């Protein structure tokens, strides 16, 4: 029996246990930076396999090492799964529904964690088939700034031994179960938050000459800010959107201030930082021009997620070998953000998508929604595929 078939058979055999892990995690979700019980559960599974586990990495993160025995090698590959849930009340009526009110695994991190535990099991049983080291990163706090990935990096998760490349996967409810989505190069956007306070001098709306109208200043400011994107390089996608404008005046009251909140998303780090500087300049210039002032708070979020071209090309070919070319989907760019991007800023990375949709079973709801769920049949594919990619990458096959 060849190695690929062996891995596929192992994943099929392990599938009920992986489903059980996923359902346990789904029933007991924990928010970002609060994943204590989740981390303890994962640690117990890892230690049952005899792995040494580092705890408290980047918060409640875990790092475990598995060394292949097929020969000497200094190569180190990391595999990552995130563990946190979202502040959403689950609307699904399933036996494994969340038992923590107001908290839900609505982004599939329970599936990511269970899948990686399955991959650990397979690779542990196949350690004689590869040389080198696999470093497993079970990461906290993907959903909240500054992102658990950045904190794990700060705590040395990519060092001792030094990681040369990293793979990660994420469920995708817009792809049918059995499909794998891949994109090389720029894939997911940076995401920065814009919090703005425009300050004027309020008063009776019948006497505008006596006051400084922050509503008018804000209107001019928002129009001017659109030039940050409309007059930039159109070959590099970027979005500047404002989703909240709060002016607590009335029909006959000019307010003292206006509060604005928005987001900047880019697919290039140079363009991103140039746009942020333009935003700073425009905000203060427009406010000063009309006699007001502005307080601007730019909260830097996750950077651009760039899939390394060489690693992704190798991975795509191996994915096609494992699932069949007809089941590989070439993805478009996505303007959402992911803190896996922090890893790709440090080392070559490949972040791919696992199809989890099944219309016949009514599994059609999007990420971050109260009715999100996955076709659990996809967990056999996710578990075996990552093991296959890891061995192939370490072998250089």
Task: Report angle CA 130, 133, 135 to the nearest 5 degrees.
Answer: 130
Given a cut of 70, whether residue 139 has pLDDT beyond it is: yes
Given a cut of 70, whether residue 256 has pLDDT beyond it is: yes
Q: Render pLDDT for 157-191 as a digit per residue (tens, 0 to 9).
A: 999 999 999 999 999 999 999 999 999 999 999 99
Residues assigned a catalytic role = 84, 142
Residue 311 to residue 78: CA distance in whole angstroms:
13
What pLDDT does residue 397 have?
62
Residue 79 to residue 137: CA distance in whole angstroms:
6
Q: Render pLDDT for 48-80 as a digit per residue (tens, 0 to 9).
A: 999 989 999 999 999 999 999 999 999 999 999
Give 121-164 as a DSSP string. HHHHHTGGG--SEEEEEEE--TTSTT-HHHHHHHTTTTTTTTP-
Average pLDDT (88-117) is 98
What pLDDT does residue 396 have?
85
CATH numbers and ranges of domains, the chain = 3-188+304-395 (3.40.630.10), 192-299 (3.30.70.360)
And the tokens for 245? 């404008």
Q: Give percent above pLDDT 70 in the chain.
A: 100
Q: Which residues are registered as beta bridge partners of 197?
A: 259, 295
DSSP state at residue 249: -
Given a cut of 80, whether residue 1 has pLDDT beyond it is: no
| DSSP E strand stretches across the chain | 53-57, 61-67, 76-82, 133-139, 165-176, 180-182, 185-188, 192-199, 203-204, 238-246, 253-254, 257-266, 293-299, 305-307, 328-330, 349-357
């Amino acid at each position: 029996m060849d190695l690929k078939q062996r891995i596929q058979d192992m994943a099929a055999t392990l599938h009920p246990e992986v489903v059980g892990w996923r359902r346990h995690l789904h029933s007991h979700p924990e928010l970002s930076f609060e994943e204590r019980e989740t981390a303890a559960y994962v640690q117990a599974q890892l230690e049952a396999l005899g792995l040494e586990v580092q705890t408290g990495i980047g918060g409640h993160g875990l790092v475990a090492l598995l060394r292949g025995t097929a020969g000497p090698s200094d190569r180190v590959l990391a595999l990552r799964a995130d563990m946190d849930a979202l502040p959403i009340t689950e609307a699904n009526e399933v036996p494994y529904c969340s038992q923590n009110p107001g908290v839900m695994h609505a982004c599939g991190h329970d599936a990511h964690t269970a899948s990686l535990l399955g991959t650990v099991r397979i690779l542990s049983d196949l350690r004689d088939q590869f040389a080198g080291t696999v470093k497993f990163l079970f990461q906290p706090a993907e959903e909240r700034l500054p992102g658990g990935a950045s904190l794990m990096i700060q705590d040395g998760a990519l060092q001792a031994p030094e990681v040369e490349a990293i793979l990660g996967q994420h469920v995708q409810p817009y792809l049918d179960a059995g499909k794998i989505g891949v994109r090389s190069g720029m894939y997911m956007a940076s995401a920065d938050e814009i919090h703005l306070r425009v300050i004027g001098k309020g008063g009776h709306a019948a006497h505008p000459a006596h006051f400084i109208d922050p509503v008018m200043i804000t209107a001019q400011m928002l129009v001017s800010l659109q030039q940050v994107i409309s007059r930039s390089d159109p070959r590099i996608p970027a979005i500047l959107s404002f989703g909240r404008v709060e002016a607590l005046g009335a029909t006959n009251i000019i307010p003292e201030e206006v509060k604005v909140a928005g987001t900047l998303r880019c697919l290039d780090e140079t363009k991103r930082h140039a746009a942020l500087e333009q935003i700073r300049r425009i905000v203060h210039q427009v406010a000063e021009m009309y006699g007001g002032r502005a307080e601007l708070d730019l909260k830097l979020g996750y950077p651009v997620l760039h899939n390394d071209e060489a690693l992704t090309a190798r991975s795509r070919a191996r994915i096609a070998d494992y699932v069949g070319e007809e089941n590989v989907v070439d993805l478009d760019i996505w303007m959402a953000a992911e803190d896996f991007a922090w890893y790709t800023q440090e080392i070559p990375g490949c972040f791919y998508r696992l199809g989890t949709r099944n219309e016949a079973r009514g599994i059609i709801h999007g990420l971050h929604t109260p009715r999100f769920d996955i076709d659990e049949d996809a967990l056999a594919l996710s578990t075996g595929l990552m093991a296959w990619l890891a061995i192939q990458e370490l072998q250089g096959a």
